[in-house]
């Protein structure tokens, strides 16, 4: 039996070094998480609510598309279905602040806008919400990144950002 009192803990020199390194690594990870959220605006997709996927024709998803909300604000209601997004083409002016509302009518899909900080899973019955500002003229693909069946590789849509005539 050990003669060391129970309230004392002996740590070997190497154990202490590993504890210090782990503590420093956790501090760096936490700092990078805070920097991403505060400095770079990285946010998870928000929950926009729930909907019955079998009654989408009674919701805002009955008429997917772009809605101008005044000023430079827009809403895009988008429906993911095997194996396409509806609408397949979204046209916006440069500098548009866009709120996306996305759901699926059938199975789980992915939703990623290339060159933008939007990437989430689209689950039937859940309305995913994300806000994006389109500051560059160009075309950006919306891609499904969750395998959704045999036509997954052709599931995409296009966002066309045009020069703002008011700018």
Q: Tokens 């210090």 — which residue?
A: 20
* pLDDT at position 2 over 90: no
Calpha distance 111→123 (Å, rounded): 10
> Residue 60: which pLDDT band, with cuts at 50, 70 and 90?
very high
Per residue in 67-95, pLDDT (tens digit) is 999 999 999 999 999 999 999 999 999 99
* pLDDT at position 1 over 70: no
Per DSSP, the three-state class of 51 is coil
Q: Where are the domains of the chain?
A: 11-42, 46-162
The third-level CATH classification (topology) of the domain covering 46-162 is: Immunoglobulin-like (2.60.40)
Per the document, the length of the chain is 167
* pLDDT at position 144 over 90: yes
Calpha distance 37→43 (Å, rounded): 6
Q: What pLDDT does residue 106 have? A: 93
* Rounded average pLDDT over 1-17: 74
Alpha helices (runs of H) in the chain, residue ranges in sequence order: 13-38
Q: What pTM does this model have?
A: 0.74
């Amino acid at each position: 039996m050990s003669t060391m009192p129970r309230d004392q803990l002996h740590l070997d020199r190497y154990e202490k070094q590993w504890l210090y390194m782990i503590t420093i690594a956790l501090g760096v990870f936490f700092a990078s998480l805070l920097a991403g959220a505060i400095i770079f605006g990285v946010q998870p997709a928000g929950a926009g609510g729930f909907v019955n996927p079998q009654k989408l024709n009674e919701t805002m998803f009955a008429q997917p598309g772009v809605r101008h909300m005044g000023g430079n604000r827009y809403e895009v209601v988008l429906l993911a279905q095997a194996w396409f997004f509806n609408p397949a083409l979204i046209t916006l002016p440069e500098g548009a602040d866009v709120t996306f509302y996305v759901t699926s009518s059938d199975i789980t899909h992915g939703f990623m806008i290339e060159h933008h900080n939007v990437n989430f899973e689209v689950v039937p019955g859940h309305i995913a919400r994300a806000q994006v500002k389109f500051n560059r003229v160009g075309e950006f693909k919306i891609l499904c990144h969750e395998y959704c069946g045999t036509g997954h590789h052709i599931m995409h849509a296009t966002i066309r950002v045009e020069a703002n005539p008011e700018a």
